[in-house]
Amino acid sequence: MPNFPWLSSQDAPETGDASLAALLAGAEPAEGLAPGLQPLADALATLTARPASDELAGEAAALAEFQNRVGVPVPVSRSRHRRHPLLTPLLSVRAAAVAAVAALSLGGFATAAFAGALPAPAQQFAHHTFGAPADDGGQPTGTHPSSATTTPGGPDATGPAAFGLCTAWAHAKAHGTPSQQAVAFRNLAAAAGGASNVAAYCAAVPHPRASSSHTAHPTGPPASHPTPHATGKPSSHP
């Protein structure tokens, strides 16, 4: 076994230990790194190199699990007509639309997307923007369980606020950013009989003023595809 004087316990063990302790903590040794320890320092730096794309590949699955568990709050049985305090003063149709856009969330949409329960075009959209499963025609549509049950508060999605809610939902879909769940969308899903039916439900909701029919999902450009960490090439090649 070769002799490494800077590592031998006869010579200044405290110094050696101090350097090692610093390396373990991810810090520069205070007294500088002994030259013989440079390969070790390099090796530890390599161990903590930035993530490779295969180390970030499981995000969609983990996010889906998260949306199923934490993204959906526990349903509480209260009267469906009890209005959310923040939205109570704003319950004209137009105001509801504005408020819903402001307090937007795609929680129900994202959950349905990851369950593969959206209609085909929406499923493909979700697939391209945030990695939800691609539309598979043969898949059984699992309607998301809890969002269809009794939920408290929020604009009543069966009433005149439906149009506003549908507009907000379509707006959110076009921009494609999942965010926190709003009470309003749960009611929309409940009124539509399931998250997967929202698109059809919204298509049937008439514009409260205009005679022309309004399609509930304007097609907007999909949000930019989330890219994995660029691994790139190192500056030196073997």
Binding site for other proteins (CB under 8 A): 1-2, 4, 7, 16-17, 20-21, 23-26, 35-40, 42-56, 58-59, 61-63, 65-67, 69-73, 107, 110, 178-181, 231-238
Residue 1 CB, nearest approach to other proteins (Å): 8
CB closer to other proteins, 11 vs 55: 55
CB closer to other proteins, 31 vs 89: 31
Residue 71 CB, nearest approach to other proteins (Å): 5
CB closer to other proteins, 8 vs 219: 8
Please state, in angstroms and rounded to a whole number, the distance separating the CA atoms of residues 127 and 14: 56
- CB proximity list for 3: less than 8 A, separation 6 or greater: none
* Residue 92 amino acid letter: S
Residue 228 CB, nearest approach to other proteins (Å): 10
Residue 46's Cα: distance from chain center in Å? 30
Please state, in angstroms and rounded to a whole number, the distance separating the CA atoms of residues 23 and 28: 7
Q: What is the DSSP string of 163-218?
A: HHHHHHHHHHHHHT------HHHHHHHHHHTSGGGHHHHHHHSPPSS-SS---S--
CB closer to other proteins, 81 vs 233: 233
Residue 95 CB, nearest approach to other proteins (Å): 25
CB closer to other proteins, 11 vs 42: 42
CB closer to other proteins, 163 vs 185: 185
**Selection from 59, 16, 8, 52 nearest residue 37 by Cα:** 16
- CB proximity list for 189: less than 8 A, separation 6 or greater: 108, 112, 144, 147, 148, 195, 197, 198
Residue 23 CB, nearest approach to other proteins (Å): 7
CB closer to other proteins, 27 vs 210: 27
- Is residue 223 classed exposed, middle or buried when 0-12, 13-18 and 19+ CB atoms within 10 A define those classes? middle
Residue 195 CB, nearest approach to other proteins (Å): 16
Helix (H) or strand (E) holding 200: helix 198-204
Q: How big is the chain by its Cα radius of gyration, in Å? A: 27
